[in-house]
Chain A
Amino acid sequence: MTYLETRIRYSGAPIYEILHQCIKADFGKLKFLKVSADLLAKGQKPEIAWKSAIKSCDDNGFTAQDRELIFSFGKDLGSSDIEGQINHCKTYRQLFQDRLKNARLEAQSKGRLYITLGIAGGMGAVLLML
Chain B
Amino acid sequence: MDEFEQATAYIPAEIKQVLTKLPDSLKSRVQEIRLRADAPVILSTPQGEWMVSQDGRQINYDTGNALICKKPEIEECFLMLCEYSVHTHQNELGSGFITARNGCRAGIAGTAVVENGRVISYRNITSIVLRVARRHDGCASELLSALAKDSYIKSTIICGEPSSGKSSLLRDLALQLSTGRSGRKWRTAVVDERGELSRNKTLGYCDVICNSPKAIGIQQAVRCLAPDVVIFDELGSAEETNAVLEGLNSGVSAITSAHCRDAESLMRRPPLAAALKSGAFELVIFLEGRSSPGKISRVMKARDILAENCWDGTNFSCRCFCGCGSIGITQPEGYLI
Q: Which residues of A contact B (CB under 8 A)?
A: 8, 12-16, 40, 43, 45-46, 78-82, 84-85
Complex formed: what's the CA distance from A4 to B84 in Å?
A: 15
Chain A residues near B120 (CB, 8 Å)?
81
B86 within 8 Å of A (CB atoms):
yes
Minimal beta-carbon separation of A16 from chain B (angstroms): 8
Minimal beta-carbon separation of B15 from chain A (angstroms): 16
Please give 14 more A-B residue pairs, beta carbons under 8 A apart, in addition to A40-B83, A82-B90. A12-B88, A12-B90, A14-B83, A14-B84, A15-B85, A40-B84, A43-B80, A43-B83, A78-B82, A79-B84, A80-B86, A80-B87, A81-B93, A85-B87
Which 4 pairs between the two chains have the least Cβ-Cβ distance?
Answer: A14-B85, A78-B85, A78-B84, A82-B87
B121 within 8 Å of A (CB atoms):
yes
User: What are 26 of the A-B contact pairs (CB < 8 Å)?
Assistant: A8-B87, A12-B87, A12-B88, A13-B88, A14-B84, A14-B88, A15-B84, A40-B83, A40-B84, A43-B80, A43-B83, A45-B84, A46-B84, A78-B79, A78-B82, A78-B83, A78-B84, A80-B87, A81-B86, A81-B87, A81-B90, A81-B120, A82-B87, A84-B86, A84-B87, A85-B86
The answer on a CB contact under 8 Å between A81 and B121 is yes
Interface centre among B80, B85, B90 (most CB of A within 10 A): B85
Complex formed: what's the CA distance from A99 to B117 in Å?
A: 41
Count how many chain B residues have C-beta atoms less than 8 Å from C-beta atoms of the other chain.
14
Minimal beta-carbon separation of A42 from chain B (angstroms): 11
Complex formed: what's the CA distance from A62 to B61 in Å?
A: 55
Interface centre among B80, B88, B90 (most CB of A within 10 A): B88
**Shortest Cβ distance from B113 into A: residue:** A81
Chain B residues near A13 (CB, 8 Å)?
85, 88
Chain A residues near B87 (CB, 8 Å)?
8, 12, 78, 80-82, 84-85
Complex formed: what's the CA distance from A58 to B252 in Å?
A: 61
The answer on a CB contact under 8 Å between B80 and A78 is no
Chain B residues near A80 (CB, 8 Å)?
86-87
Complex formed: what's the CA distance from A12 to B82 in Å?
A: 12
Complex formed: what's the CA distance from A16 to B101 in Å?
A: 13
Complex formed: what's the CA distance from A81 to B9 in Å?
A: 23
Interface centre among A15, A46, A85 (most CB of B within 10 A): A15
Minimal beta-carbon separation of B229 from chain A (angstroms): 29
Within 8 A of A (CB), among B71-94: 79-80, 82-88, 90, 93
Minimal beta-carbon separation of B311 from chain A (angstroms): 51
Chain A residues near B84 (CB, 8 Å)?
14-15, 40, 45-46, 78-79
Minimal beta-carbon separation of A35 from chain B (angstroms): 15
Complex formed: what's the CA distance from A46 to B86 in Å?
A: 13
Complex formed: what's the CA distance from A13 to B113 in Å?
A: 22
Minimal beta-carbon separation of B141 from chain A (angstroms): 37
Minimal beta-carbon separation of B6 from chain A (angstroms): 13
